[in-house]
């Protein structure tokens, strides 16, 4: 996959499959420390210790359609390649937390890519799930939560085309603003 | 710069339109969004479908994701469900195909047979 935002979408889809009501995505960028952290946290069904131990193993999956599950292994591979690592914490019935760290100077680091499209895809995938997103880049910060948006919309669905169009532009502008060097 | 305040305006405008809306056609489009689908380009396909529906002011079509159905080599896959008709599964969809599927199948009611799974299996 060519963008970090696609990895984020992939892992957050696991959260949706795990029946999460809330998904929280955080992105932390610190150029001075040559450091980036990406985390995805959910309140889905979580994993027991046995499954958790095998979570980064590509031959682990909960699916019946195929015998491999590459989402988390891909993410870990990328982090390792980029001088970082990936961690996972999970508790059955509570939720799961996945985190990847990266060296910004790594030659193997791929672009963060289209975060707004990832967020919109998650909203559309299951509009009952609330998505929060926070980006911190060298001291600048932007945060977003579908819960707040839904409250403001008061009866109008978040998946209405006019709302989605506005959300895309709103997210693009604010994320670009935070990421400007 | 977009502000949160604008959302209230959009809410009012959309609410007026929603109240006028009577056509409930029940068409549903799903995009395969497992690792295989995402890696093959499902996200731009979904964004193209949403954009095309938005441009045409089609608000009564439900767009959602679906998981992997074990045919990863055919991803990105898009299913179109029209009430009273059999499900149509499109394979190896890209942004352009996605837009045409909306135009031809969803709007005009003509499935594009050459792009469906039945053309290969």
3-state per-residue secondary structure call for A18-53:
CCCCEEEEEEEEECCCCEEEEEEEECCCCCCHHHHH
- ipTM reported for the complex, 2 dp: 0.89
Interface test with A, best of B17, B29, B43 (most A CBs within 10 A): B43
**Nearest Cα to A133, choosing from A124, A122, A125?**
A122
Cis peptide before B76 (omega within 30 of 0): yes
Q: What is the pLDDT of residues A88-142, one digit of tens each?
A: 999 999 999 999 999 999 999 999 999 999 999 999 998 899 999 999 999 999 9
Classify residue B117: in a domain, yes or no: no
Contact at CB, A126 and B65, closer than 8 angstroms: yes
Q: What is the pLDDT of residues A10-57, one digit of tens each?
A: 999 999 999 999 999 999 999 999 999 999 999 999 999 999 999 998
pLDDT score recorded for residue A181 = 60
- Residue whose tokens read 């975060």: A115
Query: Angle between the A71-81 and A4-17 helix axes, to the nearest 10 degrees?
Result: 150
Classify residue B119: in a domain, yes or no: no
Which chain B residues are within 8 Å of A1, Cβ to Cβ?
A: 38-39
CATH number at residue B79: 3.40.30.10
Give domain limits for chain A.
Answer: 4-179
Contact at CB, A13 and B69, closer than 8 angstroms: no
Q: Class of A4-179 per CATH?
A: alpha beta
- Residue whose tokens read 């809306």: B21
Contact at CB, B65 and A16, closer than 8 angstroms: yes
Which chain A residues are within 8 Å of B69, Cβ to Cβ?
A: 65
Which chain B residues are within 8 Å of A70, Cβ to Cβ?
A: 35
Task: Supply B34's token pair.
Answer: 């497992």
Q: Quote the number of domains for chain B.
A: 1
pLDDT score recorded for residue B23 = 56
Residue B17 has pLDDT above 90, yes or no: no
- Structural domain containing residue B91: 26-111
Using CA atoms, how far apart are residues A41 and A131, in angstroms rounded to an integer? 10
Using CA atoms, how far apart are residues A105 and A133, in angstroms rounded to an integer? 24
Classify residue B80: in a domain, yes or no: yes
């Amino acid at each position: 996959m060519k963008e970090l935002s696609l990895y984020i979408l992939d892992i957050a889809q696991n959260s949706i499959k795990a029946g999460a009501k809330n998904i929280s995505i955080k992105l932390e960028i610190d150029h001075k420390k040559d450091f980036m952290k990406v985390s995805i946290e959910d309140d889905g069904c979580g994993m027991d210790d046995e499954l958790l131990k095998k979570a980064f193993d590509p031959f682990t999956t909960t699916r019946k359609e195929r015998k491999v599950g590459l989402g988390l292994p891909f993410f870990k591979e990328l982090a390792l390649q980029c001088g970082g690592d990936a961690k996972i914490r999970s508790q059955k019935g509570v939720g799961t937390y996945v985190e990847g760290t990266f060296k910004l100077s790594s030659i193997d680091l791929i672009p963060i890519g289209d975060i707004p499209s990832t967020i919109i895809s998650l909203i559309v995938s299951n509009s009952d799930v609330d998505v929060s997103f926070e980006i911190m880049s060298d001291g600048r910060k932007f945060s977003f939560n579908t819960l707040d948006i839904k409250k403001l919309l008061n009866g109008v669905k978040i998946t209405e085309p006019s709302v989605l169009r506005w959300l895309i532009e709103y997210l693009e502008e604010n994320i670009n603003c935070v990421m400007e060097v | 710069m977009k502000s949160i305040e604008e959302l209230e305006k959009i809410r009012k405008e959309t609410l007026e339109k929603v109240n006028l809306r009577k056509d409930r056609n029940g068409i549903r489009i799903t995009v395969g969004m497992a690792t295989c689908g995402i890696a093959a380009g499902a996200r731009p396909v979904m964004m193209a479908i949403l954009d095309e529906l938005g441009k045409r002011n089609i608000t009564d079509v439900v767009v959602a994701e679906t998981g992997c159905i074990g045919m990863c080599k055919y991803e990105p896959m898009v299913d179109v469900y029209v009430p009273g008709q059999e499900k149509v599964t499109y394979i190896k969809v890209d942004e352009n195909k996605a837009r045409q599927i909306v135009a031809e199948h969803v709007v005009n009611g003509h499935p594009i047979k050459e792009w469906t799974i039945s053309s290969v299996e």
